[in-house]
């Protein structure tokens, strides 16, 4: 276990979950299901079974430092890497890789978002063990693919090569397809959802950045003497704004020649939208979801309601809506038009000078 490391990405704002998710406390820090653990804490708990707490690195925006340390008392302040600007996942991962490289020359690394839900934890841990063993012995990039349960248009897809085992080479990556293409992907059985969970060894990913994303690698390589020193944050603060804004998927995964996928099924959900939360939540006989609140439904179906626990909602003749209240904002929005929530947030920021962000 001592060579196992994990990078948890926890810097997103989760605007599609507004008003439940806000700038000062985005979705990864929230307890959606009343378990007493936030999504970040659940992610840490899972990973900590296979990775020592001292080898878990959290990368997030500088404004969330205190919140992370409050929620994860097992880690030290220097395990929280603070981005002064949001520059997508490739710079985030490059920063953490350089920090690990300054500590050791041998590491098997898991990269995990902080806002995913895993329902079958034992299956997940078995999958990660298999993946760690593979990257320890092979200089390959590995991603976890999830067997699709529906023709989902909100996820990226991985096309797998032919084979007899769950470990296959990747043929293609496809970003969020339209409904017709998603249906084809679902029916062929050749496509898996891209989980956004990656594994690799240190040498493999350093080489991949140097060859495929030199414009990012060079930025971070320039600070080699600063990592794990008192000057690290000053270097990052000065350099980060000029770092390219690019995802690890586009910058590395889609360009690398030797990428493998471990075909998996461990009850994975990317909690990116109200729709994804609705899909995986328990429902009443009329397909309504009420989370952490008291709700009475009359002639209503297909709704998701999230209110403060002390509130009671009586809902009549509503079909397919999101009803969500948090602090000083109440949102009532058609579930099928949830993509407009970002527009609503932007409009409210302009109208009310960011008061409700």
Mean pLDDT of the chain: 93
**In this structure, is the dihedral angle defined by the CA atoms of residues 189, 194, 195 and 200, taken in order, positive or negative?**
positive
39-53, 156-170, 200-214: which has the minimum mean pLDDT? 156-170
Whether 56 contacts 6, CB under 8 Å: yes
Q: Could you identify the residue written with the tokens 């699709």?
A: 148
> Which tokens hold the place of 86?
């949001």
* CATH class of the domain defined by 4-269: alpha beta
Helices (H), the chain: 39-47, 65-71, 89-103, 121-137, 179-188, 202-212, 214-221, 232-239, 248, 274-280, 341-351
pTM, rounded to two decimals: 0.92
The ranges assigned to domains in the chain are: 4-269, 274-352
Of 160, 253, 262, the residue nearest 208 (C-alpha): 253
Of 225, 218, 246, 257, the residue nearest 87 (C-alpha): 246
Q: How far is CA 80 from the centre of its chain?
A: 17
Helices (H), 171-289: 179-188, 202-212, 214-221, 232-239, 248, 274-280
β-sheet bridge partners, residue 318? none
Comparing 40 with 257, the larger pLDDT belongs to 40
pLDDT of residue 109: 98
pLDDT of residue 255: 93
């Amino acid at each position: 276990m001592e060579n196992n490391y994990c990078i948890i990405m926890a810097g997103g704002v989760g605007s599609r979950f507004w008003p439940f998710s806000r700038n000062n406390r985005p979705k990864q820090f929230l307890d959606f299901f009343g378990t007493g653990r936030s999504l970040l804490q659940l992610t840490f708990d899972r990973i900590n079974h296979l990775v020592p707490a001292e080898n878990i690195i959290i990368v997030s925006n500088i404004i969330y430092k205190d919140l992370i340390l409050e929620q994860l008392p097992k880690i030290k302040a220097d395990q929280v890497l603070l981005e002064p600007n949001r520059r997508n996942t490739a710079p985030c991962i490059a920063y953490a890789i350089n920090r690990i490289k300054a500590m050791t020359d041998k590491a098997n690394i898991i990269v995990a978002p902080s806002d995913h839900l895993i329902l079958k934890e034992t299956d997940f841990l078995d999958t990660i063990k298999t993946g760690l063993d593979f990257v320890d012995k092979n200089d390959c990039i590995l991603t976890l693919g999830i067997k699709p349960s529906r023709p989902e248009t909100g996820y990226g897809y991985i096309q797998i090569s032919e084979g007899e085992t769950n470990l296959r080479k990747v043929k293609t990556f496809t970003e969020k397809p339209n409904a017709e293409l998603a249906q084809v992907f679902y029916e062929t059985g050749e496509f898996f959802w891209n989980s956004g969970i990656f594994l690799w060894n240190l040498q493999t990913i350093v080489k991949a950045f140097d060859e495929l994303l030199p414009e990012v690698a060079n930025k971070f390589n320039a600070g080699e003497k600063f990592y794990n020193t008192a000057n690290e944050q000053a270097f990052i603060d000065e350099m980060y704004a000029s770092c390219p804004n690019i995802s690890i998927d586009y910058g590395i995964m889609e360009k690398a020649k030797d990428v493998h996928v471990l075909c998996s099924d461990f009850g994975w959900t990317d909690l990116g939208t109200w729709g994804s939360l609705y899909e995986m939540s328990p429902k009443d006989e009329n397909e309504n979801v009420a989370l952490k609140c008291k709700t009475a439904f009359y002639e209503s179906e297909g709704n998701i309601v999230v209110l403060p626990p002390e509130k009671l909602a009586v809902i009549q003749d509503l079909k397919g809506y999101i009803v969500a209240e948090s602090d000083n904002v109440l949102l009532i929005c058609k579930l099928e038009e949830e993509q407009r929530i970002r527009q609503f947030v932007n409009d409210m920021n302009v109208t009310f000078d960011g008061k409700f962000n």
